[in-house]
Structures are given as C-alpha cells and as structure tokens.
C-alpha cells in the first residue's frame, strides 16, 4: 500500500509539473478571446502604426478595424475584394485586391492607387498575400482560387508563382516559380529572411534576401503549409491552417500549438499598442490572445 501511495503521489506531482510548463510565447493564464463574429471569411490582418489591426471580410468586400479599447468596426466597403494586406513605410495600407487581380494602396481617406494590374499583358492569377521590404518593394504570392466574382475560369499565367514589385514600378518580377500553390508570405527586415508557404504541398520554405527582389535558393523550414503567417521579435514563425496556429522557433522546431474553435484559421498577426496581442482571423470570427513576445512587423514604424 505504501508503494502504491508513493506511485500515486509521484503521478500527481508529475502531472502538476507538466501542467505548469511555461509557454515560451503565451502569457501565463492567458485565454483565447473571441472579439467579433458573424463574418463570411476573415483574412489579411495588418498592423497600423498605432497598433490597430485592419482585416478583411473578403466575400462581403469590406475592411474592418480592431482597436484594443473600442473593439471592431467597419472601416471601408468596396475594397476590390481585398485579401492579404500590409502597411507600407508611410503607414498606408496595401492590399491584394483580387476582384481584378490587382495590388492596391488604400489611403486614410480611402482613396485608392492601383499599383499593379497585369503581368506583361496577362492577368495575375490572384494576388493573395504580401510583405513589403525596407525599400517599399512588395513580395506577393499569386495562387489561383476561382472566385465567384470573376468572369474567367482559367489561369492566364500557367504557373502559380511568387513575385516582387519594385517600389514605383508597374510590372512585377518573377522571383520563385517552384511551388504547387504559394500562399502565406512574411519576411524579417532584421534578419533579411523571407518565408513562403506552399499550402497545397504542406511545406514552408525560407529564403535569404540578398537584395530587393533577389532571393537565395530556398531551404525547407517546416513540413506544414500555411494560409497566413507572422513573425515575432525572437524569430518565431506563426502559421495557420486547419490545426489552428502553430508556432515554430527559428530553427523550424514546433514550440507551441494554439487551438482555435473553427474549421479553418486563415491568418495571424501581432498587434496592439505594444505589439503583444496575437490577432487571429478564423473563418467567421476573429480572436485575440495575450503574448510574452511582440511582433517584428511594424517595428520600422514605431522605431
């Protein structure tokens, strides 16, 4: 009996200790909070210079904004069916407007500059996600997901590629064409790295950025595909798919799994005034989670 009690005590202590293992990225006792729902499909979260997060409800053709004090409100309708978004160095929102397979810059007064309309006379397949480097150049993925608002059925460009639009130019440069379906994309200004997900092949790759629009050979980062991605200041990569949000350290080792109560998790970013709120778009809802780490995105805005 004494041995049995000792075994029970050991199991209890072990279980308690295991439960107390600290997350490397999530604040202790933090809980996932649903901050808004009732959307068709949420996507494209982008952090503004003030820490507010702008995101899209693409099927309803609207961009919404989350404020940590005021919650969620509609910012713009008639957005060109915006999908992935990112703020440029001037604090202006840039979006993948795939109603006409374009890239847009959307000013604070909601006026629009169309940055990209075609690739040497052919319609892009559908710019999906983007990241902007320190020169203002735009890396973007161009898969093909047939949209109900399109009047065409087939790709005009045979392959699903990754492109780079130099600042001030009207034609994008092909930078990677060895993907099944490129989707999520994010980069590190500090580390000069670019991450691109091949969602259909269930892999994420990493490149070194050698210069504007110049990439090294790709290396496999992890065996998982992603719809959207973000980085924190420690170099951890956050990816999204049916599993929720999975966090990998800079060596490609999984260090965290965040379960989301939706069938699909589309995208993620670190926002809020201190960049320590994980903001998650997941189909018809959006969620937040308090983190120990802050986002690398937007660091160039706040200094």
Instruction: Give the chain's mean pLDDT.
Output: 92
Give the C-alpha separation, 234 to 43, whole Å.
24
Contact 216, 222 (CB under 8 A): no
Give the contacts of 20 (CB within 8 A, at least 6 positions apart): none
Neighbours of 180 (CB within 10 A): 14
Please report, to the nearest 10 degrees, the dihedral formed by the alpha carbons of residues 241, 242, 245, 247 taken in order. -70
Domain of residue 226 covers 24-302
pLDDT tens across 136-179, in order? 999 999 999 999 999 999 999 999 999 999 999 999 999 999 99
Residue 77 lies in a domain: yes
pLDDT of residue 15 exceeding 70: no
| Bridge partners (DSSP) listed for residue 185 | 196
Structural domain count of the chain: 1
pLDDT of residue 296: 85
Is residue 70 a part of any domain in this protein? yes
Phi first, then psi: give them for residue 2, nearest 5 degrees.
-60, -40
DSSP codes of every residue in 157-174: SSS-EEEEE-TT-SSPEE
Is the Cα torsion angle 86, 88, 94, 96 positive or negative in sign?
Answer: negative
pTM beyond 0.85: the answer is yes
Neighbours of 200 (CB within 10 A): 14
In a domain, 17, yes or no: no
209 Cβ neighbours under 8 A, 6+ residues apart: 133, 187, 192, 193, 194, 215, 216
Which pLDDT tens digit goes with each residue over 269-296? 999 999 999 999 999 999 999 999 999 8
In a domain? residue 251? yes
**Is residue 287 situated within a structural domain?**
yes
Give the integer Cα–Cα distance in Å for 209 and 214. 6
pLDDT band of 301, cuts 50, 70, 90? very low
Q: What is the CATH number of the domain that holds 88?
A: 2.120.10.30
The reply to whether 281 falls in a domain is yes
User: How much is the average pLDDT of 30-52?
Assistant: 97
Phi, psi of 10 (to 5 degrees): -65, -45
- What's the token pair of residue 196? 């691109």
% of the chain with per-residue pLDDT over 90: 90
Q: Does residue 150 form part of some domain?
A: yes
Handedness of CA 51, 57, 58, 61 (dihedral sign): negative
Question: Is there a domain that residue 14 lies in?
Answer: no
């Amino acid at each position: 009996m004494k041995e049995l009690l000792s075994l029970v005590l050991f199991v209890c202590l072990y279980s308690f200790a295991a439960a107390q293992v600290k997350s490397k990225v999530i604040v202790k006792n933090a809980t996932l909070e649903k901050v808004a729902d009732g959307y068709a499909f949420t996507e494209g979260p982008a952090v503004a210079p003030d820490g507010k997060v702008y995101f899209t409800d693409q099927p309803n053709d609207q961009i919404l904004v989350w404020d940590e004090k005021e919650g969620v409100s509609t910012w713009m309708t008639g957005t060109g069916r915006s999908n992935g978004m990112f703020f440029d160095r001037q604090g202006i929102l840039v979006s993948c407007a795939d109603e006409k397979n374009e890239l847009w810059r959307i000013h604070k007064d909601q006026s629009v500059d169309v940055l990209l309309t075609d690739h040497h006379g052919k319609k892009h397949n559908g710019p999906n996600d983007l990241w902007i480097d320190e020169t203002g150049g735009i890396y973007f993925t161009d898969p093909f997901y047939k949209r109900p608002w399109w009047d065409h059925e087939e790709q005009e460009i045979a392959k699903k590629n990754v492109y780079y639009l130099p600042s001030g130019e009207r034609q994008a440069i092909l930078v990677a064409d060895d993907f099944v379906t490129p989707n999520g994309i994010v980069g590190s200004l500090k580390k000069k790295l670019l991450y691109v997900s091949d969602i259909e092949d269930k892999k994420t790759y990493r490149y070194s950025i050698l210069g504007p629009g110049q990439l090294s050979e790709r290396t496999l980062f992890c065996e998982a595909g992603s719809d959207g991605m973000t980085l924190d200041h420690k170099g951890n990569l956050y990816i999204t798919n049916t599993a929720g949000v999975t966090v990998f350290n800079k060596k490609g080792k999984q260090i965290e799994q965040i379960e989301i109560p939706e069938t699909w998790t589309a995208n993620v970013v670190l926002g809020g005034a201190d960049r320590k709120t994980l903001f998650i778009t997941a189909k018809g809802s959006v969620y937040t989670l308090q983190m120990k780490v802050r986002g690398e995105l937007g660091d160039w805005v706040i200094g």
